[in-house]
A and B are shown apart, each in its own frame.
Chain A
Amino acid sequence: MLEKPLVIVVDDEAPIRDSVDMFLSGLGYRVLTFASAEALLEDLPVDQSACLLLDVRMPGMNGLEVIDELLRRGINWPIALMTGHGEDAALAFAESSPATIEVFAKPVSSEDVAAFADRRLATAR
């Protein structure tokens, strides 16, 4: 049996992590959650066909910095940037970054999350 595709969620807000985890697990995805960028980098999954749901503003390293760090480490997962503070900076970053980035304003709908995972993991496989 093929392993289920992996979605990684990084957000400092526990209810966001937990609810997205529950939702995507219900759809049959494997989900890993991290409370900070540092926690993700410390325990980086090696799965090359994952996709990442990433909060922009977090204590410590922010979402944009972690994308740069992932690229430096040769990891180029498709990324959904979730921003609660206006989309302009995130869109500008997405435009200039070599990573595949989609930008979503919080609150992000379940439909958008499901469609992102579906689209990105279908192309990754």
Chain B
Amino acid sequence: MGELAAGIAHELTQPLMAVHMYSETAASLRKRSDGAAELEQKVDEALEKVAEQSLRAGEIVQRMRAFIGKRQPQLTECRVNDLVCDVLGLLHSPLTTGDIEVQLKLADSLPDVRADSIQIQQVLVNLIQNAIDAMSADDQRPRNLHLGTRHDEDGYVVVSVADSGPGLSEDAFQQVFDPFHSTKPAGMGLGLPICKTLVEAHGGTIVARANGDAGAVFEFRLPVLMKGAMNA
């Protein structure tokens, strides 16, 4: 959450500094204007920009709220395979429209995890939507989405989302979970930082890496529910 907060602080700094500068400009011009039309016009211009930039700051805050939501996490016993299938159902339309072939490799007899199912679905929606966006931007490549689950030796349930899109540069992989580092033209750069925050709040981890020669793999791990842990 620290990185996310730092990113938001940085993003809000820009419009706040601009609002401050424009309003100080308006104030100092007003003092000297003495009714001169040219200066009055400059004052109006500065005030319009104050309004514009304060709206921008407000939009950043609203986008954050929409992403994070206000609900408390509701932890229940969850079957991760079911969550994956539910999300595929939710994203049926963009997957079909994007002409994307889905390959599912879900482990049998996967142990349950203790999780907020909505939040984990939110993570999955985000990762799959990113994969769809990455693959839809390129007509030359095959569009294969691999979704997999497995139970690793450390006792975690691992979920992987792999695409055959153009992938990311080494630098971009390094920064992929940093707030406000979107590679999409209209992206806010908050989707993946929030995924990271949500997964870590569940005691899990999330990583990103190249998918062989083409595309990206995002993989998150959630701790397995211990017998009796829910009642503790």
User: What is A's interface to B at a CB cutoff of 8 Å?
Assistant: 13, 15-16, 18-20, 22-23, 26-27, 84-85, 106-110, 113
Contact = CB atoms under 8 A, between A and B. Distances in A.
B13 A23 contact: no
Contacts of B24: 23, 110
Contacts of B15: 15
Interface string B11-35: 0011111111110110011000000
Given A23-B25, A26-B28, A18 B17 contact: no
Contacts of B6: 85
A108 B22 contact: no
Interface of B is mostly: helix
Given A19-B22, A84-B10, A110-B25, 14 more contacts: A15-B15, A15-B18, A16-B17, A19-B20, A20-B21, A22-B49, A23-B22, A23-B24, A84-B13, A107-B17, A107-B20, A109-B20, A110-B20, A113-B21
Interface of A is mostly: helix
A18 B42 contact: no
B15 to A, nearest CB: 6
Contacts of A110: 20-21, 24-25
A22 B20 contact: no
Contacts of A13: 14
B2 to A, nearest CB: 12
A15 B21 CA distance: 10
Contact of B28 (A18, A27, A84, A109): A27
Contacts of B136: none
Query: Which size bracket describes the interface of B in this complex?
Result: 20 to 34
A107 B25 contact: no
Nearest to A11: B14
Contacts of B22: 19, 22-23
A110 B49 CA distance: 16
A40 B20 CA distance: 25
A2 B42 CA distance: 24
B10 A22 contact: no
Contact of B49 (A18, A85, A107): A18
B162 interface: no
Contacts of B123: none
A16 B10 CA distance: 13
Nearest to B22: A19
B53 interface: yes
B147 interface: no
A84 B180 CA distance: 13
B212 to A, nearest CB: 29
B29 A85 contact: no
B12 to A, nearest CB: 9
B17 A19 contact: yes
Nearest to B17: A107
A54 to B, nearest CB: 14
B42 A16 contact: no
Given A84-B10, A110-B21, A19 B29 contact: no
Given A19-B21, A22-B46, A107 B13 contact: yes
Contact of A23 (B16, B21, B53, B56): B21
A108 to B, nearest CB: 6
Centre residue among B15, B25, B28, B29 by max chain A CB count within 10 A: B25
